[in-house]
C-alpha cells in the first residue's frame, strides 16, 4: 500500500469515528460554549475564583496590554487586575460569533469580544477584540490551556 492509499484509509477511518462520535462531539461543543459563557460572566462579575476555575495551572496567554505573554495561573490572574483597573464599571465583557472545533480531547474556540476601557484621560474606549482558546479534556473536563486576545491592527 502506497503512502497516499494509507493516508486515504486513515482519513476514511477518522471520518467514520467522527460520525460514530457525533453525539459526544455535540456534547463537547456545548460544554465548551458553556465554559466560555461562564468565564465571561465571571469577568463581568469580577469573580476571580470563577475566572480561574477552568484554566490549567500551566496556562499560556498572549494578551493585548503588556505583559504580552503570561505563563502560569498566577501570571494569568495578574493580568485581570490590570484589566479591572481600567475597565468601565459595571464591567462589559461579552462574545459573539463563537466557533468551536473539537476532537476527543483537544479543542479550540474563536470568538469576537467586546469590552469598554477607560483610558488614562478618563475617555471611554469601546473595544472589539479577538479571542482564541486552546483546550484539552483532562479527566473528562475541558481545561483552558491557551488563551489569546488580540486587537485588529489600525
DSSP string computed for 15-51: HHHHHHTHHHHHHHHHHHHHHHHHHHHHHHTT-HHHH
Q: What is the mean pLDDT of residues 56-81?
A: 93
The average confidence (pLDDT) of the chain is 88
97 by Cβ neighbours in 10 Å (0-12 / 13-18 / 19+) ranks as exposed
pLDDT tens-digit readout, 106-117: 999 999 999 999
Q: What pLDDT band is residue 8 in, cutting at 50, 70 and 90?
A: very low
pTM: 0.83
Q: Find the CATH number of the domain harbouring 136.
A: 3.10.450.50
- Total number of residues shown for the chain: 154
Domain that holds residue 41: 3-150
CA distance 68 to 78: 12
CA distance 116 to 11: 45
Number of independent structural domains in the chain: 1
CA distance 93 to 53: 17
Amino acid at each position: 500500500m502506497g503512502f497516499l492509499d494509507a493516508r486515504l484509509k486513515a482519513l476514511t477511518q477518522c471520518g467514520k469515528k467522527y460520525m460514530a462520535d457525533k453525539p459526544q462531539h455535540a456534547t463537547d461543543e456545548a460544554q465548551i460554549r458553556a465554559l466560555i459563557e461562564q468565564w465571561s460572566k465571571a469577568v463581568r462579575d469580577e469573580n476571580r475564583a470563577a475566572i480561574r476555575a477552568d484554566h490549567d495551572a500551566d496556562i499560556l496567554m498572549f494578551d493585548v496590554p503588556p505583559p504580552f505573554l503570561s505563563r502560569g495561573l498566577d501570571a494569568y490572574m495578574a493580568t485581570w487586575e490590570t484589566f479591572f483597573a481600567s475597565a468601565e464599571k459595571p464591567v462589559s465583557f461579552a462574545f459573539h460569533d463563537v466557533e468551536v472545533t473539537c476532537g476527543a480531547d483537544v479543542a479550540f474556540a474563536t470568538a469576537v469580544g467586546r469590552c469598554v476601557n477607560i483610558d488614562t484621560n478618563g475617555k471611554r474606549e469601546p473595544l472589539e477584540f479577538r479571542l482564541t482558546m486552546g483546550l484539552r479534556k483532562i479527566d473528562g473536563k475541558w481545561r483552558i490551556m491557551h488563551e489569546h486576545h488580540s486587537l485588529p491592527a489600525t
